[in-house]
Amino acid sequence: MVADPLLLGYLAQFDDAAWLRVVDRLGPAIHPVDRAATRAWFHFFPLRLQRALDASGDAAALARYLRLEGRWHLEAHRETSHWFLFGHRYWADVRAAVCRAAEEAGAPGSLDLAAQVQALARDVADRLAVDASWVVGITAVALRTLQQVGLPAVELPLVDRARVIGAPETDPDRIVARRRRRPGGLLQWLKRSPETWPVTFDERPPARSFPLVDSQHITTAAALDTGDYRSEDHRCSEGPIPVQCRSCSCGTCWVGVLDGADLLSPVDAKERATISALGYLDTDDSKPIVRLACMAQAHGPITLVIPPWNGQIGARLEKAGAADVE
């Protein structure tokens, strides 16, 4: 695909903060199943990190300085990075629509990026005969992916529908309801036993979760899951969530909260300062969608997504700038 330089030039004016403002504006148009997931994706793949690595004379040295671990290169998994969105099942169609838009000559149809996203989403939705709210989030992701790493013209295999969230469930409302379902019900209350909640960290079938006793820290509960997660991700030494320090300093255990952010303990001053210093999130929200699992305590069923990488891209990245780091 040879992208129209006018579209790429238009997208180039949007940095991370501008994109997050666009996602905020799109929020009401995105189905609740993907509202937090879309925002989480934008936090997981920051433009500033990509641009710093591209501008560095020694990207490997910069990566070491930023203490990057895992898979932080969006280009390497641009077709699957959004697997945790319900809209991922429509990726092939959304991707094709964005490619067509990128190949068209002339200026963008609107200088309002949110309006462009919604127009593309409506086009896809009409073609597929689905609700437009189901594809608004994944359309925003596709345009940002085009801006960040491009969408080359290659034959795209069909999305494996057995590996998308909620499959074979096709009603996103039911997925939202399932996420909030509290196990045990009245029987558990009558037993007066400590309430135990499921923490789901992968909704693709077979869904994977671990139990958490009410008010337990997420990493403490995750450590009791003895599955072999290290073979999938070398960062996982205790359970499915990568963890190192357990003292709110390394940032290894950051997670995105797809549902249940309101059921977590409020961010305290230490967690807020650490998340900001690491460059993951900067917000005054007391219960944001990006949390450090070693600090967050759950009081209900939670659905998470574990970022594919961790690092320190806040103060360290600002210090490094675009210069080489020894």
Q: For residues 213 and 285, state if they share a domain.
A: yes
For the segment 215-224, what is each residue's pLDDT rounded down to a tens digit? 999 999 999 9
Q: For residues 18 and 152, state if they share a domain.
A: yes
Q: For residues 136 and 207, state if they share a domain.
A: no
Is residue 139 included in any domain, yes or no?
A: yes
What SS3 state is found at 61? helix
- Global confidence as pTM: 0.93
Q: For residues 125 and 270, state if they share a domain.
A: no
Q: Copy the structure tokens of residue 162.
A: 């057995």
Domain final residue pick, 141, 169, 197: 169
What SS3 state is found at 96? helix
Q: Find the mean pLDDT for residues 143-158.
A: 81
- List the CATH number of the domain containing 263: 3.10.20.30
Q: For residues 12 and 133, state if they share a domain.
A: yes
Q: Find the mean pLDDT for residues 203-216.
A: 95
Share of the chain above pLDDT 90, in %: 79
Q: For residues 119 and 200, state if they share a domain.
A: no
Is residue 283 included in any domain, yes or no?
A: yes
pLDDT score for 241: 98
Domain final residue pick, 120, 139, 169: 169
pLDDT score for 185: 56
Is residue 58 included in any domain, yes or no?
A: no
- Sign of dihedral through CA atoms 183, 184, 188, 190? positive
Domain count, the chain: 2
Side chain identity at 23, as an amino acid letter?
Answer: V
Q: What is the DSSP letter of 152?
A: -
Is residue 322 included in any domain, yes or no?
A: no
Q: For residues 134 and 240, state if they share a domain.
A: no
For the segment 305-326, what is each residue's pLDDT rounded down to a tens digit? 999 999 999 999 998 874 544 4
Q: For residues 14 and 40, state if they share a domain.
A: yes
CB atoms within 10 A of CB 4: 17
pLDDT score for 5: 67
Which domain, by its residues, includes 272?
A: 180-316
pLDDT score for 217: 97
Q: Find the mean pLDDT for residues 291-303.
A: 97
Q: What is the DSSP string of 185-197?
A: HHHHHHHTPPPEE
Average pLDDT, the chain: 91
pLDDT score for 263: 97
Domain final residue pick, 169, 193, 225: 169
What SS3 state is found at 105? coil
CB neighbour list of residue 163: distance below 8 Å, 6 or more residues apart: 83, 204, 205
Q: For residues 300 and 184, state if they share a domain.
A: yes
Q: For residues 157 and 306, state if they share a domain.
A: no
pLDDT score for 322: 44
Q: Find the mean pLDDT for residues 61-85.
A: 95
